[in-house]
């Protein structure tokens, strides 16, 4: 990824209701708490929802690392909403392709402190978006990374 997730200022540039209107989900499925940085093709977000017992992605009393893909997809959706075609606001999409996924831990719910969720757009067409992503601890340990593609509605 081109945007380092460590060393970012902790002052959010977007949070609360302003952030939630950009996420294509409601309630507890809004996994990201704040946007820390947007620079061109890259976004850096932060999340605490991995520690919540009512996280809807939990299974068998744990949050598997595969849930990190949804965190990354939401960061990509927010980035696309902030930087995309203003003539088509709120255009929906679906996660279509995952590639080069590397997970470095088994679960997210035992990570203390916030998660940093970075995504960098590597391609955009009229039909799809492609992003590199990484979830890291605030200290910079990579938890999961890879590439995702979102098919636009």
pLDDT at 20: 81
pLDDT at 86: 54
pLDDT at 93: 85
Q: Which domains does the chain have, with CATH numbers?
A: 14-152 (3.10.129.10)
pLDDT at 54: 93
107 φ, ψ (degrees, to nearest 5): -150, 160
pLDDT at 34: 95
The angle subtended at Cα 139 by Cα 135 and Cα 144, nearest 5°, is 20
8 A C-beta contact, residue 117 and residue 72? yes
Rounded Cα distance between 13 and 152, Å, is: 26
Reduced to 3 states (helix: H, G, I; strand: E, B; else coil), residue 70 is: helix
Listed in sequence order, the residues at least 6 apart from 54 whose beta carbon sits closer than 8 Å to its beta carbon are 28
Whole-model pTM above 0.95? no
Q: Nearest CA to 45 among 111, 130, 135?
A: 135
Q: Kindly state the percentage of the chain with pLDDT values over 70.
A: 89
pLDDT at 16: 82
Chain segment 68-94, per-residue pLDDT in tens: 999 999 999 999 988 875 545 556 789
Divide the 153 residues of the chain into consecutive groups of 10 and give the mean pLDDT of each group.
51 80 84 95 97 95 96 94 66 89 97 97 93 97 97 88
Rounded Cα distance between 134 and 119, Å, is: 7
């Amino acid at each position: 990824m081109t945007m380092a997730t460590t060393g970012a200022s902790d002052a959010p540039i977007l949070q609360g209701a302003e952030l939630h209107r950009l996420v294509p989900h409601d309630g507890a499925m809004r996994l990201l708490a704040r946007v820390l940085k947007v620079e061109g093709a890259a976004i850096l977000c932060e999340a605490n929802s991995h520690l919540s017992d009512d996280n809807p992605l939990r299974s068998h009393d744990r949050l598997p690392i595969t849930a990190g893909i949804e965190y990354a997809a939401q960061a990509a959706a927010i980035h696309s909403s902030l930087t995309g075609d203003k003539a088509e606001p709120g255009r929906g999409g679906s996660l279509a392709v995952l590639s080069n996924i590397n997970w470095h831990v088994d679960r997210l719910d035992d990570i203390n402190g916030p998660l940093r969720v970075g995504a960098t757009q590597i391609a955009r067409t009229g039909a799809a978006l492609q992003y590199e992503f990484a979830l890291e601890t605030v200290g910079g340990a990579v938890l999961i990374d890879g590439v995702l593609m979102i098919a636009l509605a």
